[in-house]
Amino acid sequence: SEQLFVEMADRMAADGWRDAGYEFVCIDDCWMAPTRDGQGRLQADPKRFPSGIRRLADYVHSKGLKLGIYSDVGKKTCAGFPGSYNHYDLDAQTFASWGVDLLKFDGCNSDSLDLLAEGYKRMSLALNRTGRSIVYSCEWPFYLRPVQQPNYTEIKQYCNHWRNFYDVYDSWSSIKSILDWTALHQDTIVKIAGPGGWNDPDMALVIGNFGLSRDQSVTQMAMWAIMAAPLFMSNDLRHISPEAKRLLQNREVIAINQDPLGKQGYQLFKDKKFQLWERPLSDLAYAVAVLNQQEIGGPENFTFSLTLLGHGLACNPACSIRQVLPASRDWGVYSWLSSLSVEVNPTGTVLLTV
């Protein structure tokens, strides 16, 4: 309901979220009335959004925030509401006239892969024709993947970020499966990411809900930063714990995620217990994550040579190392041939900058 989004916008502005860099309040599926209006335009559900989307957008903007909305490339949305098929220009103009700043464009109920691709391209061009700056969030490769390998060069021409894998759930198994999928496909997807176009490991940071332990929450935050993933929270800001709030608003992690070089990180090493990931940052720095995959026992040490990092160049001839998560502290200066020993909790991650 509009009341829910008003309350979230209030919390975003009052509780430091906006100041930490979170700027979009996004509406997902089910906001619409079951039918279009007499002019063929989408309309908000009159009971749940009695003031309409334009009024809600004005309110969100008054808080220094932006409004995101949802539609679908097919005849119906995933939940069965009117889709944008054959209405791409009209819907883009409608969203722009309402003051919308982001469109999540789903891929349900498209009759063929050709129509899917055509719809994603047409909506991209239609959004640009409105003259309003609207972030374009696509699900295009996710719906292609079961049948064919996505052409990411083409997708980046049309979309600002794109979904590759299944819905994220509020569970450790879901976070694990997303990381496993990303590592398995990193040779295809890492090179395409950069300013203007990003891989989206589904939209949601589920930190602050119920399914993740403290260590697992640290892992999601650290790994989404390593993956240069858009940071969208899916949680209730009215009831979030101080600990989850501190983690989600951690300026150092957000700075890694938003690093201007815009390169996505990748997995360097994996054995039965540990994963080692790195992400190139601006100013010849690197973000490094050590993830302990064990789900039982206590903290364990992972020792590795610094020559592994940055194709051997990250610490040549020396480097300073700082721990960002689970708590921030300086580790000092290391020489190129040093080894680093990192103690990591089960299902936890230690995030470093080098």
For residue 45, give the DSSP letter.
Answer: -
Q: Which residues contact 40 (CB under 8 A, 6 or more apart)?
A: 87, 90
Q: How far apart are CA 121 and CA 225, in angstroms?
A: 29
Work out the burial of residue 28: count CB atoms within 10 Å of its CB; fewer than 13 is exposed, 13-18 middle, 19 or more buried: middle
Q: How far apart are CA 218 and CA 320, in angstroms?
A: 23
Upper half-sphere CA count for residue 289 (Cβ side, 13 Å)? 32
Instruction: Give the active site residue among 72, 101, 106, 259.
Output: 106
Are 48 and 1 in contact by the 8 Å Cβ rule? The answer is yes
Angle at 229 between CA 223 and CA 233, to 5 degrees: 90
Which residues, listed in sequence order, are joined to residue 32 by a DSSP beta bridge?
44
3-state percent breakdown (helix, strand, coil) of the chain, nearest 5: 35, 25, 40
Phi (first) and psi of residue 158, to 5 degrees: -110, -25
Instruction: Give the active site residue among 19, 111, 167, 236.
Output: 167
Q: Which residues contact 323 (CB under 8 A, 6 or more apart)?
A: 329, 330, 331, 350, 351, 352
> Annotated catalytic, 106?
yes
Tokens 């209730």 label which residue? 236
> Annotated catalytic, 28?
no
Query: In a 3-state reduction of DSSP, which class is residue 351?
Result: strand
Are 287 and 254 in contact by the 8 Å Cβ rule? The answer is no
Catalytic residues: 106, 167
